[in-house]
Structure 1
Amino acid sequence: MNTEKTWEDGDVGKRIGNNLRQFRSNKGISLEALANQIGVSKLTLINIERGEANPTLSVIWKISNGLNIPITALLSIEADVSISRNKDGLKLTSSNEVFVAEPLFHSHGLMEFYRGYLQPQGEYLSEPHRQGVIEFVTVMSGKLTLEVDGNTYQLDEYDSIRFKGDRPHKYVNPSSSITILHFVISYSSL
């Protein structure tokens, strides 16, 4: 019996909406209260819950931080075997489309795995994740300049970095070609 699950574009919006509604209801938070807490309009949240909106990466981060859940909990698929195929996965984009993150896998709310693409000369300012989050980033192709806490780090192909993700951090591609990244986000305590 094959229990493999894959992402299907038509189901993504509905899955996010259903999961958002379920997590919000389980926590006893109204749409209006969540909207006020995370700085996203109530209408936007209504459209997401109905599966009628395609939220940006920033909005999904705000929702997951506001509900205190990993981002992949909003996207969850339960299966014995999951495959994330190149170019077939769900793509979460920044509002200016300079940065694209593809959720790959999650491990029971403890870790999330992503593939990321940063356009040439592109910059992406990530909002702080919730307290205690650690990010691990490996440059798979290209170059990356990462700014964390006023410090700048230069990474080349196959370089990796670990840092506290609960503070603002900025990803910069200083090159003229796309930078491909692999992310692991850990929610375990420090």
Structure 2
Amino acid sequence: MQDQAERIERGRARDLLTGAQVLSGQLGKTIQRLRKAYNLSLSELAEQSGVAKSIISQIERNETNPTLATIWRLSQALDVSIERVLATNDEEPFIEKASRADTPILVSEDGRVRLAIIGWVKTIEWLQWYDVSADPGGVLDSDPHQRGSVESLSVREGVFEVEVAGVVQTARAGETLRYRCDRPHIVRCVGELPGRATMVVIMKAAVME
């Protein structure tokens, strides 16, 4: 039984390695998108993964075929499964399921607002969406995104407050706030109850004058 399990595991590793070589063109884009989703520089990802900065740069530019061990270290640092990093070919139909454990979580500085990245990694450069959960009093203080970017916050539970350039608006369950996010903006969970919301960020949107 043990020998059979070892053969299966070796076969799985071999398949993944073959997939890494075949999909190296897509792999570089995936690593880069995941890195940007976490707002990590090449140096920061190198420090967290133990993979040299120069190697990560070569992977993102599709100038090298990384080993399975290298892909595993990067996937661990980016908090996603190795299967997700080795995504399927763009031309193939697919149904992708991300488990709770495989969903990256961003946390606000005060630790009271959590953003689960539920958007598709391939759209991270122009479209991002998150499942937001916040404790009462939680604050998400964000730097400006690209010029023309727009954020949409649809409240499902509780009460949220958004402040942009000194202008404040409040939304309750069933209401949505849309606002320019190419300037400093703050999202607060106000009231006595926890809040839940869906946040969508449209990058490079038409500039509103």
Same fold (TM over 0.5): yes
Residue 104 in structure 1 maps to residue 118 in structure 2: yes
Residue in structure 2 matched with residue 118 of structure 1 by the alignment: 134
Higher relative contact order (CA 8 A, sep 6+): 1
Residue 83 in structure 1 maps to residue 100 in structure 2: no
Distance 1:22 1:92 in 2: 13
User: Please, what is the CA RMSD of the aligned residues?
Assistant: 3.4
Residue in structure 2 matched with residue 128 of structure 1 by the alignment: 144
Residue in structure 2 matched with residue 169 of structure 1 by the alignment: 185
Distance 1:114 1:22 in 2: 14
Return the TM-score normalized by structure 1.
0.59
What percentage of residue pairs aligned between the two structures are identical?
Answer: 19
Q: Secondary structure in 1 aligned to 2:182?
A: coil
Distance 2:116 2:146 in 1: 20
Q: Which runs of 5+ in 1 are unaligned?
A: 1-14, 25-30, 36-41, 52-73
Residue in structure 2 matched with residue 64 of structure 1 by the alignment: none
Amino acid at match of 1:121: G
Residue 149 in structure 1 maps to residue 168 in structure 2: no
Distance 2:176 2:50 in 1: 39
Larger radius of gyration: 2
Distance 1:46 1:175 in 2: 41
Higher strand share: 1
Number of corresponding residues = 137
Evaluate the alpha carbon distance shift between residue 87 and residue 173 of structure 1 in structure 2; reply closer, same or farther with a 3 A threshold.
farther
Distance 1:159 1:23 in 2: 32
Amino acid at match of 2:107: T
Q: How far apart are residue 91 of structure 1 and its match?
A: 1.3
* Native 8 Å contact 1:20 1:49 kept in 2: no
Q: Secondary structure in 1 aligned to 2:31?
A: helix
Residue in structure 2 matched with residue 28 of structure 1 by the alignment: none
Return the TM-score normalized by structure 2.
0.54
Report Cα offsets for 1:17-74 as digits up to 9, x if no partner.
x8259989xxxxxx9xx68xxxxxx5x45323438xxxxxxxxxxxxxxxxxxxxxx7
* Native 8 Å contact 2:145 2:203 kept in 1: no
Distance 1:87 1:176 in 2: 29
Q: Secondary structure in 2 aligned to 1:166?
A: coil
Off by >6 Å, runs of 4+ in structure 1: 21-24
Matching residue within 157, 168, 175 for 1:159 = 175
Higher helix share: 2
Report Cα offsets for 1:89-133 as digits up to 9, x if no partner.
321112331111001123634312210112111222111112221
Distance 2:146 2:178 in 1: 16
Matching residue within 31, 39, 52 for 1:19 = 31
Q: Secondary structure in 2 aligned to 1:89?
A: coil
Distance 2:34 2:115 in 1: 24
Residue in structure 2 matched with residue 46 of structure 1 by the alignment: 46
Distance 2:170 2:34 in 1: 41
Distance 1:87 1:120 in 2: 25
Amino acid at match of 1:156: R
Evaluate the alpha carbon distance shift between residue 111 and residue 165 of structure 1 in structure 2; reply closer, same or farther with a 3 A threshold.
same
1:57-96 equivalences in 2 (<5 Å): 78=87, 80-84=94-98, 89-96=103-110
